[in-house]
A = this chain, B = another copy of it.
Amino acid sequence: MEAEQADTHPVATASRKRLPRAERERQILEVAEEVFATRGYQTTSMDDIAQRVGLSKPMLYEYFGSKDGLLLACLERARRELLESTTAAAANAVGPEQLLHDGLLAFFRFSDEHRQAWALLRNESTVPSLPVNSELESIRSQQVEFTADMLRLSLPNMNEERLEAFAEAIIGACERLAMWRERRPEITPEVATEHLMALVSPSLTTA
């Protein structure tokens, strides 16, 4: 009804044209990730996003099915990026100790450089949607499994249950430390990694 909000310009200038589906989808995803991450999922309406893209709501439903579906698409992209970052780091590590170190560092760097993606992942069960929750759960499993694999290299003799516990605990510690870093900007990814290594590595080298 009333005029457009002051700061929600219809993304860029040239978007007042029909665009091929693939390109629109990328555009929508970009806007959605930003706005979900900064204003929150619940607070954001589909009309908000549509308006920011310079489009009408039904197109979002045409391409992503539902609001959950749109978030899901954002999460899937974030998962890919996170996996790439951590596996790349693991690829050129030397020993088992170094492997864990580099994996942790890659995680903290990810939460640093992809703040929006991290903000989406950090939210637990914001959404009452089964697909979204199982996606979040599966992202976590991915990380836990990744960590467990590293631990298996360091501690080939440890029983499986304890190994699982260690992996879960380390992932939990990572998440909290990443959130801690949001309040303490002077803590670099390197420093955070060092703190966490100081906490866990003694129990890995001795056993």
Chain B nearest CB from A37 CB (Å) reads 12
Q: Judge whether B42 and A127 touch: CB under 8 Å.
A: yes
User: Residue A12 at the B interface, CB < 8 A?
Assistant: no
List residues of chain B with CB within 8 A of the CB of A166: 195, 198-199
User: Residue A125 at the B interface, CB < 8 A?
Assistant: yes
Chain B nearest CB from A20 CB (Å) reads 34
List residues of chain B with CB within 8 A of the CB of A43: 128
List residues of chain B with CB within 8 A of the CB of A175: 172, 176
User: Chain A contact residues (Cβ within 8 angstroms of B): what range?
Assistant: 35 or more
CA distance A123 to B125 in the complex (A): 6
Q: Judge whether A206 and B202 touch: CB under 8 Å.
A: yes
Q: Judge whether A171 and B164 touch: CB under 8 Å.
A: no
User: Residue A49 at the B interface, CB < 8 A?
Assistant: no
CA distance A179 to B33 in the complex (A): 27
User: Residue A200 at the B interface, CB < 8 A?
Assistant: yes
List residues of chain B with CB within 8 A of the CB of A169: 173, 176-177, 195-196, 199
CA distance A164 to B206 in the complex (A): 24
0/1 per residue, A155-185, Cβ < 8 Å to B?
0000001101110111111111101100000
User: Residue A124 at the B interface, CB < 8 A?
Assistant: yes
List residues of chain B with CB within 8 A of the CB of A203: 198-203
User: Residue A126 at the B interface, CB < 8 A?
Assistant: yes
List residues of chain B with CB within 8 A of the CB of A199: 165-166, 169-170, 200, 203
Contact of A170 among B125, B126, B173 (CB under 8 A): B173
User: Residue A54 at the B interface, CB < 8 A?
Assistant: no
- Chain A interface residues toward B at CB < 8 A: 40, 42-43, 122-128, 161-162, 164-166, 168-177, 179-180, 187, 192, 195-196, 198-203, 206
